[in-house]
A and B are shown apart, each in its own frame.
Chain A
Amino acid sequence: MKPITIEEVQPLINQFAKQPVYIHLETTNGAYASHFDQSFFSASAYIRNANVTYEHGKIIGEGPFRAGLKIEIGWVYAEGLTHFELDQEGRLLLAGHGFDGKLAVALEISKTPFE
Chain B
Amino acid sequence: MTTSNERHVLVIFPHPDDEAFGVSGTIAMHTSSGTPVTYACLTLGEMGRNLGNPPFATRESLPLIRKDELKKAAEAIGITDLRMMGLRDKTLEFEDDDQMVQLVSDLISECNPSLIISFYPGYSVHPDHEATARAVVRAVKKMKKEDRPTLHCVAFSNGHEEHIGNADVVHSISPFANQKMAALRAHISQTAWMLKDLEETLVNGDQPDAAVKFFTEQFWTVDVDQLEV
A residues adjacent to B (C-beta < 8 A): 1, 24, 26, 28, 30-32, 35, 38, 46, 83, 85, 87, 91, 93, 95, 97, 100-104, 106, 108, 114-115
Tell which of B48, B51, B60, B90 has the most Cβ of chain A within 10 Å. Answer: B60
Task: Determine whether B47 belongs to the interface, using a CB cutoff of 8 Å to chain A.
Answer: yes
- Docked-complex contact A97 and B53, CB < 8 angstroms: yes
A sample of 14 cross-chain residue pairs with beta-carbon separation below 8 angstroms, ordered by A number, consists of A1-B54, A28-B47, A31-B126, A31-B127, A35-B125, A38-B158, A46-B90, A95-B51, A97-B51, A100-B53, A101-B52, A103-B50, A114-B60, A115-B60
CB contacts (< 8 Å) of B127 on chain A: these are: 31
B residues adjacent to A (C-beta < 8 A): 47-55, 58-61, 63, 90, 125-128, 157-158
CB contacts (< 8 Å) of A28 on chain B: these are: 47, 49
B123 to chain A, nearest CB (A): 11
B32 to chain A, nearest CB (A): 31
- Docked-complex contact A101 and B158, CB < 8 angstroms: no
A-B contact count (CB 8 A): 62
- Docked-complex contact B49 and A103, CB < 8 angstroms: yes
User: Which 7 pairs across A and B sit closest by C-beta, in order of nearness?
Assistant: A101-B53, A102-B49, A103-B49, A31-B126, A1-B55, A106-B59, A35-B125
- Docked-complex contact A95 and B90, CB < 8 angstroms: no
CB contacts (< 8 Å) of A102 on chain B: these are: 49-51, 53
- Given contact pairs A32-B125, A32-B126, A35-B125, enumerate 11 new A-B contacts (beta carbons under 8 Å): A28-B47, A31-B90, A31-B127, A85-B58, A87-B58, A100-B53, A101-B51, A101-B55, A102-B50, A102-B53, A103-B48
CA–CA, A115 and B128, complex, Å: 20
B48 to chain A, nearest CB (A): 8
- Docked-complex contact B60 and A91, CB < 8 angstroms: yes
Which single residue of chain B is at the shortest CB-CB distance from A29? B49
Partner of A108, one of B54, B60, B90, B128: B60
